[in-house]
């Protein structure tokens, strides 16, 4: 499914974090290319820099040095307003904690980002219904998060992340709060999205079982890619 078009390009990326009188070198020089339609899994021990790297790719934090391009745009040179626009247009986020709005139904949670984006090609409720149905939640449209299982809530979160049709989907421990059966359903859903829509998906995880879904697995150790460049 992957093409040779680069969606994510990182060069010489470092991230330093102050810790008291010392400095933690969270990332020590990352070179990375991720291509359209790839499903890439980033693994490594706790403290290896996985989530830090994902946050930098998503424009949620800034690198100490180096460059990160998203679809050819160097996001390390953008101001906060420009970063917000890139995140809204090009990136969907899935986290370990579902972060659904508890007072809204599944349909309303997914429709909300479409309403904010005001994309003329999408009618919010119609888009939300299409995504939730594709993720096996057609009979849960009017349910609020507390009425859904963990796996169902995560699939709602996936639909919300896809609401504005971003070319890049970033997932940080998306199965971390789920039992093995629910986790497998979530991974099957992500793989199906990649195959059907050509969405590029990058997943950070501790779960070795997730790697079997990947086109490519990147291992971080002490802030470096274990085999140098990916």
Residue 1 lies in a domain: no
Residues in a beta bridge with 44: none
Which residues span the domain enclosing 203? Answer: 6-225
Whichever domain contains 210, its CATH number is 3.40.50.300
What is the Cα–Cα distance from 175 to 7, expressed in whole angstroms?
Answer: 24
Task: Report the mean per-residue pLDDT for the chain.
Answer: 90
Element (H, E) at 172: strand 168-172
Residue 123 lies in a domain: yes
Tally of structural domains, the chain = 1
Burial class (CB in 10 A: 0-12, 13-18, 19+), 197: middle
First CA to last CA across the chain, in angstroms? 18
**Residue 116 clears pLDDT 80, i.e. is over it:** no
pLDDT attached to residue 155: 92
Residue among 148, 203, 207 nearest 176 (CA)? 207
Q: How confident is the model at residue 183 (pLDDT cuts 50, 70, 90)?
A: confident
Residue 230 lies in a domain: no
Q: What is the dihedral of CA 57, 34, 70, 224, to 10 degrees?
A: 40
Q: How confident is the model at residue 13 (pLDDT cuts 50, 70, 90)?
A: very high
**What does pTM read for this prediction?**
0.90
């Amino acid at each position: 499914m992957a093409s040779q078009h680069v969606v994510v390009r990182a060069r010489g990326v470092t991230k330093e974090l102050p810790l008291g009188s010392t400095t933690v070198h969270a990332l020590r020089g990352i070179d990375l290319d991720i291509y359209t339609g790839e499903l890439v899994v980033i693994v490594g021990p706790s403290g290896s820099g996985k989530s830090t790297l994902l946050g930098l790719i998503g424009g949620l934090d800034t690198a100490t040095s180096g460059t990160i391009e998203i679809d050819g745009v160097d996001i390390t040179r953008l101001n906060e307003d420009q970063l917000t626009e890139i995140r809204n247009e090009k990136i969907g986020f899935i986290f370990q904690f579902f972060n659904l709005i508890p007072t809204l139904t599944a349909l309303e949670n997914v429709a909300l980002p479409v309403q904010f984006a005001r994309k003329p090609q999408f009618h919010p409720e119609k888009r939300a219904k299409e995504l939730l149905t594709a993720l096996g939640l057609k009979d849960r449209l009017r349910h609020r998060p507390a009425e859904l299982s963990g796996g169902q809530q995560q699939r709602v979160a996936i639909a919300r992340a896809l609401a504005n049709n971003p070319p890049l989907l970033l997932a940080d421990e998306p199965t971390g709060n789920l039992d093995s059966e629910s986790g497998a359903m979530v991974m099957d859903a992500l793989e199906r999205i990649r195959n059907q829509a050509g969405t590029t998906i990058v997943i950070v995880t501790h779960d070795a079982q997730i790697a079997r879904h990947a086109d490519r697995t990147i291992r971080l150790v002490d802030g470096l890619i274990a085999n140098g460049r990916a």
